[in-house]
């Protein structure tokens, strides 16, 4: 088929948050990514080349040339498929959360960090991620690509974080430079791990409802070192220690 300029424009507009919100749609690209999401999200439109060997379960599907796919794509090197999915309406079950380990993000701004953290949640069996308002949109195309398909298994909810944590009534663990050594602190199998903004850390409002403050110690402890860890790396270290205690 000949790809219309209107269809290309429509896909490109979905890179804007306001347009995604109005349309209730988001874009995902790449063979593995699309295949992972097709079983979990409603696919509105699928654009694919003759090199794509996956499902065509979409409301509408278009066989296009690779040159046309490049016009649709925001990637430097597109693969063979681009899909437009409906944004799901997840229900937040507070009672179910009380029996889980939950991850909360307080103002994460970098799309790559956000996507990496969702992948980490998936890896460590954390099925719910809570986000403070102002955290980067999980359906931002760069975030979606960075999740590498983990969005199929991890639900992301945007909430008024301080008040929601109070309502949840779970242990709340925040990371800070004045916290207790992660490897010595008591950790519960259920609770909320809060990771803060890349530059400012966890907000004062969230710290006020925290029950524990944790520090990832450097080695040797107290020796001169880099100022801080990347938030994605820090999330991996903290989640790994929580899960290690459950082995």
With 80 as the cut, is the pLDDT of residue 227 above it?
A: no
CB 62 within 8 A of CB 48: yes
Give pTM, 2 decimals.
Answer: 0.93
For the chain, what is the mean pLDDT?
Answer: 94
Q: What is the pLDDT of residues 124-158, one digit of tens each?
A: 999 999 999 999 999 999 999 999 999 999 999 99
- Considering the chain, what percentage of its residues have pLDDT values greater than 70? 100
Q: What is the pLDDT of residues 1-31, one digit of tens each?
A: 678 899 999 999 999 999 999 999 999 999 9
CB 95 within 8 A of CB 40: no
With 90 as the cut, is the pLDDT of residue 228 above it?
A: no
Question: What are the residue boundaries of the structural domains of the chain, listed by start?
Answer: 5-86, 94-244
Q: What is each CA distance from 210 to 163, 192, 205, 237, in whole angstroms?
A: 11, 9, 9, 19
Buried b (16+ CB within 10 A) or exposed e, 169-193: ebbbbbbeeebeebeeeebeeebbb
Q: What's 5-86's CATH class?
A: alpha beta
Q: What is the pLDDT of residues 158-204, one digit of tens each?
A: 999 999 999 999 999 999 888 999 999 999 999 999 999 999 999 99
With 80 as the cut, is the pLDDT of residue 83 above it?
A: yes
- Compute the distance between CA of residue 235 and CA of residue 206 in angstroms, rounded to an integer: 17
What is the per-residue DSSP string for 23-82? HTEEEEESHHHHHHHHTTS-EEEEEE-TT--S---SSEEEE--HHHHHHH--SSS--SEE
Q: Considering the domain 94-244, what is its CATH architecture?
A: 3-Layer(aba) Sandwich (3.40)
């Amino acid at each position: 088929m000949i790809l219309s300029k209107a269809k290309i424009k429509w896909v490109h507009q979905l890179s804007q948050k306001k347009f995604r919100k109005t349309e209730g749609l988001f874009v995902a690209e790449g063979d593995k990514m699309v295949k992972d999401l097709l079983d979990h999200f409603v696919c509105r439109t699928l654009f694919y080349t003759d090199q794509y060997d996956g499902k065509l379960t979409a409301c509408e599907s278009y066989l296009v040339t690779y040159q046309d796919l490049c016009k649709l794509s925001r990637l430097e090197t597109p693969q063979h498929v681009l899909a437009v999915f409906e944004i799901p309406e997840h229900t937040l079950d507070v009672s179910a959360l009380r029996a889980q380990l939950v991850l909360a993000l307080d103002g994460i701004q970098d799309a790559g960090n956000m996507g990496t953290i969702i992948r980490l949640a998936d890896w460590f069996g954390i099925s719910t991620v809570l986000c403070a308002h102002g955290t980067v949109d999980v359906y931002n195309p760069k975030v979606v690509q960075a999740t590498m398909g983990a969005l199929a298994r991890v639900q992301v909810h945007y909430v008024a974080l301080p008040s929601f944590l109070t309502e949840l009534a779970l242990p709340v663990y925040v990371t800070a430079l004045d916290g207790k050594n992660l490897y010595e602190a008591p950790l519960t199998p259920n609770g909320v791990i809060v990771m803060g903004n890349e530059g400012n850390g966890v907000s004062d409002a969230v710290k006020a409802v925290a029950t524990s403050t944790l520090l990832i110690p450097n080695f040797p402890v107290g020796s001169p070192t880099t100022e801080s860890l990347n938030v994605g790396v820090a999330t991996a270290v903290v989640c790994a220690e929580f899960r290690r205690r459950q082995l």
